[in-house]
Structure 1
């Protein structure tokens, strides 16, 4: 009985060689396949992410517009250029305006656009709207095309 314990069996040597891992060739084949899949699927995923950022910016502009309209009903006016969107979350220093201000008008503070930039506000008319409120898009600059285009209620040119 002790003699059988000291001899390795065939099944244990087969298990030992199978557990040693993959060959370099197998690893290269797997990496090439993953690379091909990412080359085909990756651009589509990034395109969807860019599209989602534009939709998020459009939604946030509508939310900010609603907050500005609510504040205007309370205070009787929109923020000035100097006050900007900060008036939605910070009580005004003007005593008369401060009495009518019922804010903050945003629960979670003033959001940045999906690209990490501040939303642009101007009390000047933007066509059918009493003010301009927009994101500068992915490039953070005025104008642009595609995902770099400005998003929101743009000022009249």
Structure 2
């Protein structure tokens, strides 16, 4: 009986080498999968932001059809969710849930007019004008 007890105790559990091999494998997986997951996350933020810009442009188009004009820069995108009472034909809110979306990084969209051309923009991951890669501005 004693012999059996010693043998069970000696073979149960993991050796130090087995534990080090398991930690090394987990480390390799994290090192290989982690960066790919982060790239995928950044790509999805860009795709989400582009989709939101398209939805906002559609909301501006509907606003323009119903009111006969696009929002001016002073009104901005806020006019899509709240009527100030002075806009004939306003029949909003023009965006889902009556609140403006934010870009993939949690920043508000920038609305500008260049002549009669509407521009809706996100400043990207860094929140600063310009930039390259994931920090590049996204316009629509």
Could you tell me the TM-score, scaled by structure 1's length? 0.78
Aligned residues: 139
Alpha-carbon distance in 2 for matches of 1:104, 1:111: 13
1:62 aligns with 2:49: no
Using CA pairs under 8 Å that are at least 6 residues apart, name the structure with larger relative contact order, 1 or 2.
2
Map of 2:107 onto structure 1: 117
Q: 1:122 to 1:15 in 2, by over 3 A?
A: farther
Q: CA deviation at 1:93?
A: 3.5
Residue of 63, 66, 73 corresponding to 1:81: 73
Could you tell me the TM-score, scaled by structure 2's length? 0.86
Partner secondary structure for residue 123 of structure 1: strand
Residue of 19, 27, 35 corresponding to 1:43: 35
Map of 2:96 onto structure 1: 107
Unaligned runs of 5+ in 1: 1-6
Alpha-carbon distance in 1 for matches of 2:61, 2:126: 29
Q: CA deviation at 1:44?
A: 1.4
Map of 1:25 onto structure 2: 17
Residue of 133, 141, 149 corresponding to 2:120: 133
Alpha-carbon distance in 2 for matches of 1:33, 1:23: 16
Map of 1:151 onto structure 2: 138
Residue range with higher mean Cα deviation, 110-119 or 42-51: 42-51
Alpha-carbon distance in 2 for matches of 1:105, 1:137: 24
Alpha-carbon distance in 2 for matches of 1:106, 1:18: 67
